Structure 1
Amino acid sequence: MKTETLRARLLEVQLDLVNHRERSVIVLLTGHAVTHKGRLVNELNHWLENRHTEVHALGPSSEERERPYWWRFWRRIPDRGRIGIFIHGWYGDALFARAERRLSPGAFRDRLAEIRAFEAELAAEGVVLLKLWMDIGRHEQRRHLEALQQDPVRAWQLSDTDWQRHLQHAAIGALGSEMREATAADHAPWRRLDFRDRPAQLRRVGALLHETLVAPPAPPRAMPEAVPDEALAAPSIRHADPRVPAPMKKASYAARLVDAQGRLAINAREVARRRIPVVLAFEGLDAAGKGGGIHRVTEALDARQYRVHRIAAPSDEELALPWAWRFWRRLPADGRIAIFDRSWYGRVLVERVEGLAPEAAWRRAFAEIREFERQLLAHGAVLGKLFLAISQEEQLRRFEARAATPHKRHKLTDEDWRNRERWGDYATAIDEMFARTQAPGAEWALIACDDKRQARLAVLEEVNRRLELRLASPP
């Protein structure tokens, strides 16, 4: 195909992608040094309508180092209808860290497993991947390096790193082969491109991108289902009794509240000093008191240290991106606290029960959630998961009280009554959620909430317990 014809067809299918907004595309180029990656991307961007493309080629910033590793890539996933081009991306990090022995063989394999999970999740959410390995022989690479060095116009492009990569040519080639074999999939194929003159290389890349854009998306390979630890018992909403023999007296509650909030204030300051991130996820039945529990937590905190994220129906911006994006983007920096009033568990609760997510999506979400939380813990975060439970009798009493109180009526919606009618369906979903997402460091705390005072103290006690457990470990 002639260059001009290819260019016209590529632009046509890109604009079709933009108009339909059904999926996004990621093109990732990695491989050996001095294989035209930067110049190829620049020229390819001129072929495309670059208002709908974005290029990423920077190392991690200080902001990104203060969050879990994958945050820096999740926040750069292109919207539906757009093309994201990554130079090296997540592969370059793993490849060069292993070549320089900053990653052990086991850590390298673990990173490749994370990449497989990440790409499977993207593909399931409508992101098409095209991965290009740029190859060059060792002698050809050296000849090209020497030619660049002697060219007064382009010599500035060379760096010590390029020569280091040349010395590591054999290691990078072997590691690249291992990496491609471990991460190749129908939904995330690798294409190997031999070094050649730039116009021919550009035509080849353009043809592969055109082929990717016109091909039907490949079904993603399912993530392997992680099996919860048998010794780690999960709570059960069906077997819990949120009722209390007698409500707590106001005077006793006030004294204990001061003590619990005082402990929390001290723990939060130490968390900030030691740069430990904290993620608290609040889930619960309607009218169980999530807002009241969160308010008693935040009363004890410095407003500069925390942020509360109230998760509702996704916005148009969030619908244009993979489902997990809106949670990744809200993760706190080291030393900060993120509180989620409802969370990523909505996919396996309300979205499941109300039919807002296909069955394949909410079933897949269990493994995705476990991987997400594993990465939070690997970064050193404290993860608290609190589920606030209430009896059907107490929920009805609170609904009726809200309906009768003018300044509380806005809290009661038709959806609350509909959810109540599906109590059994929600109980089934909740117990399965507990069983399939219980893990060391990510255990669920089931809070009995028929008595508001005791429930609020239990919330504070659980948050303090989590923080103190982490603070008791060596820095």
Structure 2
Amino acid sequence: MKEALRYRLLAAQLEMARQAARSVVVVITGQAATGKTALINELNHRLENRLTEVHALAPSSEERARPYWWRYWRRLPARGRVGVFVHGWYGDALFGRADQRLGAGAFRDRLEQIRAFEAELAAEGVALVKLWLDIDRHVQARHLKALLQDPERAWQVKDSDWQRHLQHHTLAGLGKQLREATEAGHAPWHRLQGGPEHKPVTTLIHRLVEAMAGPLPRVERVNGPGAPPSGEAVPRLAQLSGGARPKLAKAAYRRALAEAQARLAGNARAIHRRGIPVVLVFEGHDAAGKGGSIHRLTSALDARGYRVHRIAAPSDEERAHPWAWRFWRRLPLDGRFAIFDRSWYGRVLVERVEGLATPAQWQRAFDEIRRFEGQLLAHGAVVGKLFLAIDKDEQLRRFHARAETPHKRHKLTEEDWRNRARWDDYCRAIDEMFVHTHDVDGGWALIDANDKRRARLAVLDHVNALLERRLAAPE
């Protein structure tokens, strides 16, 4: 019977790998001395190791220097693979609250984040298996003492195990609250007895086979962080239809550029000293001058302190992971800049307009984007979002100029002409993006880019203002 179940598990895993249509995330948490290590080792012997990764995390200095959820997003398994997390995000919440490193409100907030995180994974084809291991307090004490008396196993008992034993009642209450808050049809809890007298591996294997081969559950909707305030403060493309201004003279532009770049260099040094991460997003019409503006920005920065990410169609590796994975993994260390030339907003712009994302995907993305940016802000990051807009006539003029300039011809593609043919569709998507993702702390700067020189100065001025506002805030 055991061998038959083992072969069934292996067959399900290999078929899942062949289809590469889903991944499985297993989280095992609960009371101390329940045999989690032995359970994971036993499970690992039954799985194909090349398709399985086990994570037992203590946050590194690199992980502490990035937003909290980065450590988990970067370790998510690709489609066709299994990721096993010992305690994972639940252990952080559970033990943080038990040790009073998290207050009651922060604990509830973390559980809401977990619920949203798991819903996002499930919507992207990740099957979740969550196991809570219980043990009676007196059995736990007896087991810990027995381990200490065995010279070959005494090393397994740590001071933290006795601390968790003293917290048994507290952990039981917090665990109940945790499970109730994060129970969902797409992410159910399985509560089992652990300890030396119980062998939960059979139940876990059954749950894994269901996750690998069964139908994926319908994802329950999770309430988003709330729509940002709307009204006159929300940018609209129509705001830029007030007529052309005279072009800025080259001499005046050069003077203003040098001043703005010097100001930025000073602000960037202060940002580095304070350990403040900066995330800048550049979106805009084709040929609006995003690349030129980014170049003038980075010319004032230390090359060791920034990274420019040019986001195009996802690679095979990126397609094998949940949609947001490729953006989470590019977040900067504290004190550094990450500059995105195109970004996660592609889902509600080009992917929406070109039908590369389903209506359910791009509509869901508004909530996901607001949560993502909210987590960056909660970490203390500066988040700047700039949209460079030009009118249709100016875009056509720049397209022709690119076609006639040998060193710029590579910038003009068939995709640019195709996007231009859907100008009105893009404008509707852009305005809707502003409505759903513009707020006080992570708002959009709408840059009139019909004059490239004025646009570049406006970009530098906006970024400087964001940095100076953050530097003026109390630490």
Return the TM-score normalized by structure 1.
0.98
Contact 1:242–1:389, Cα closer than 8 Å, also in 2: no
Distance 1:242 1:345 in 2: 27
Listed as ranges, the matches of 1:378-389 within 5 Å are 378-389=378-389
Change in 2 beyond 3 A, CA 1:127/1:238: same
Question: How far, CA to CA, are the matches of 2:395 and 2:444 in structure 1?
Answer: 22
User: Counterparts of 1:100-111 in structure 2 under 5 Å?
Assistant: 100-111=99-110
Change (3 A) 1:231 1:390: closer
CA contact (8 A) 1:14 1:48 kept: yes
1:325 partner letter: W
For 2:193, the aligned partner's letter is: D
Q: Is the 8 A contact 1:257 1:457 kept in 2?
A: yes
In structure 2, do the counterparts of structure 1 residues 242 and 65 end up closer, same or farther at CA, with 3 Å as the change threshold?
farther
Measured after TM superposition, the shift of residue 149 of structure 1 is: 1.1
Please tell me whether residue 45 in structure 1 is matched to residue 38 in structure 2: no
Aligned residue for 2:58?
Answer: 59
Q: Is the 8 A contact 2:26 2:85 kept in 1?
A: yes
Which residue is equivalent to 2:126?
127
> How far is the alpha carbon of 1:231 from its aligned partner?
6.5
* 2:180 maps to 1:181: yes
**Within 5 A, what are the aligned runs for 1:123-202?**
123-197=122-196, 200-202=199-201
Contact 2:143–2:195 (CA<8 Å) still a contact in 1? no
Structure 2: runs of 5 or more not aligned: none
Tell me, in whole angstroms, the C-alpha distance in 1 between the residues paired with 2:222 and 2:198.
39
Partners of 1:230 and 1:356 in 2: how far apart? 28
Distance in 1 (alpha carbons) for counterparts of 2:467 and 2:202:
56
Partners in 2 of 1:379 and 1:68 — Cα distance?
5
* Aligned equivalents of 1:352, 1:248: Cα separation in 2: 36
Q: What corresponds to 1:308 in structure 2?
A: 308
**1:418 corresponds to which letter in structure 2?**
R
The CA distance in 2 between the partners of 1:203 and 1:242, in whole Å, is: 70
Q: Give the distance between the partners of 2:176 and 2:41, measured in 1 at CA.
A: 26
Q: Deviation digits for residues 116-159 of structure 1, max 9, x if unmatched?
A: 11000000001000000000011111111111111111011101
Q: CA deviation at 1:351?
A: 0.2
State the partner residue of 1:364.
Answer: 364
* 2:386 counterpart SS class: strand
Tell me the equivalent position of 2:256.
256
Deviation of residue 243 (structure 1)? 4.9
CA deviation vs aligned residue, 1:55-103 (integer Å, no higher than 9, x gap): 0002100000000000000000000000000000000000001011111
Matches within 5 A, 1:425-464: 425-464=425-464
Find out whether 1:375 has 2:345 as its counterpart.
no
Identity of aligned residues (%): 64
CA contact (8 A) 1:238 1:431 kept: no
CA distance in 2, matches of 1:4, 1:437: 53
- Amino acid of the structure 1 residue aligned with 2:172: G
Q: Deviations over 1:427-474 (max 9, x none)?
A: 100000001001221000000011110000000000001000000111
Distance 1:315 1:219 in 2: 27
Query: Which residue number corresponds to residue 338 of structure 1?
Result: 338
Query: Closer, same or farther in 2 for the Cα pair 1:211/1:28, shift >3 Å?
Result: same
Change (3 A) 1:295 1:82: same
Structure 1, unmatched stretches of 5+, are none
Q: SS of 2:138's equivalent?
A: helix
- For the 8 Å contact 1:242–1:390, the answer to whether it is kept is no
The 2-side partners of 1:194 and 1:115 are apart by: 24
Q: Taking structure 1 as reference, are residues 242 and 309 closer, same or farther at Cα in structure 2, changes over 3 Å only?
A: farther
Aligned partners of 2:261 and 2:297 also within 8 Å: yes
Distance 2:221 2:439 in 1: 21
1:157-196 CA-partner distances (Å, limit 9, x unpaired): 1011000000000000000000000001011010001125
Structure 2 contact 34–196 (Cα < 8 Å) conserved = no
Is the 8 Å Cα contact of residues 232 and 440 (structure 1) preserved in structure 2?
no
* C-alpha contact (below 8 Å) 2:20/2:80 kept by paired residues: yes
Matched, 1:423 2:423: yes
Instruction: Give the Cα–Cα distance (whole angstroms) in 2 for the partners of residues 322 and 365 of structure 1.
Output: 12
Aligned amino acid, residue 353 of structure 2:
V
Aligned residue runs from structure 1 range 287-306, under 5 A:
287-306=287-306
In structure 2, what is the Cα distance between the partners aligned to 1:426 and 1:198? 62
Q: CA separation of 1:155/1:232 partners in 2, compared to 1, >3 Å: closer, same or farther?
A: farther
Compared CA separation, residues 308 and 243, structure 1 to 2 (3 A): farther
TM-score w.r.t. the length of structure 2 is 0.98
Structure 2 counterpart of 1:473: 473
> 1:27·1:85 contact (CA, 8 Å) conserved in 2?
yes
Q: Is the CA contact 1:307–1:338 (under 8 Å) kept in the aligned structure 2?
A: yes
Preserved contact between residue 243 and residue 450 of structure 1 (Cα < 8 Å): no
- TM-superposition CA deviations, 1:303-358 (whole Å, max 9, x none): 00000000000000000000000000000000000000000000000000000111
- Partners of 1:266 and 1:160 lie apart in 2 by 48
Q: Which residue of 2 aligns with 1:241?
A: 241
Q: 1:397 to 1:242 in 2, by over 3 A?
A: farther
Q: Secondary structure at the match of 1:312?
A: coil
The separation in 1 between residues aligned to 2:423 and 2:285, in whole angstroms, is 9
Shift of 1:242: 7.4
